[in-house]
Amino acid sequence: MTLLHLFDLDGTLMYGSAAPVEISRQLGLEREIAEIERAFGAREIGPQDFARAARELWSDLTPLHVRAAFDGAPWLAGIRDVWQEIRGRGDYCAVVSLSPSFFVELLLEWGAHAAHGSVFPEVPFTRPVDVTGAMTPEGKLTVADRLCERFGVTRADCVAYGDSMTDAVLFAALPRSVAVNARPHLAERATHVYEGRDLREAYQLVGGTRPGVAAS
């Protein structure tokens, strides 16, 4: 049986940080993005308002800033190793995130089969963000269903990895989930819980098994 592994980015693949934070750090705008993140976490704004605010904040963003943010981010160890093993098994791995598409898609370089984020214009920005392209928690499940169709699997063949309530819709819809350095209210909904900084360890909670087959 083929599996599809679906990874969140912020707080999951990245330890204690998020793509918008790392991008803003390159521009010296840590305080400003912290307020936007706070408002989002408190549900004072939604994904569309977040995308609009981030686009305005990053008016001076360049591709060099994006690359520096990506290269300097506090990634979990072993991401490329895990994705290489997934590919070697004939399984699939994808990243589905609320973070900007121009950042999320860089993870294709590390071996993800697919990477989906909130749709932003090209960097440097010359156009406003189309907020209808902002990823939502419900949108993650929609993307998951499209990836299932693309790869010829079903929801029963999926594993979700996440850390916050933006992943709760996926966790509720899929049979297997790994809470990675997660908030308690998501960990309670997970089939596996991992605390640490090595994705290889989180993957081993589910990576060696298939439905009805003992772990090797």
pLDDT confidence of residue 211: 45
- Beta 4-7 vs 192-194: how paired, if at all? unpaired
The CA-based dihedral angle spanning residues 23, 29, 30, 31, taken in that order and rounded to the nearest 10 degrees: -150
Q: What is the three-class DSSP state of 184? A: helix
Count of other CB atoms within 10 angstroms of residue 10: 24
Would you state the pLDDT for residue 209? 54
Q: What is the pLDDT of residue 1?
A: 85
| Average pLDDT of adjacent 10-residue blocks, the chain of 216 residues | 96 98 98 97 95 97 98 98 96 98 98 98 95 97 98 98 96 98 96 98 80 36
Position 157: which residue type?
D
Is the distance from CB of 114 to CB of 147 less than 8 angstroms?
Answer: yes
pLDDT above 90 covers a percentage of the chain that reads 95
3-state helix, strand, coil in the chain (%, to 5): 45, 20, 35
> Does an H or E element contain 123, and which?
none
Q: Which DSSP letter does residue 12 get?
A: T
Q: SS3 of 39, please? A: helix
Whole-number Å distance between alpha carbons of 191 and 60: 42
CA–CA dist 12, 16 (Å, integer): 8
Half-sphere exposure of 100 (CA within 13 A, CB side): 26
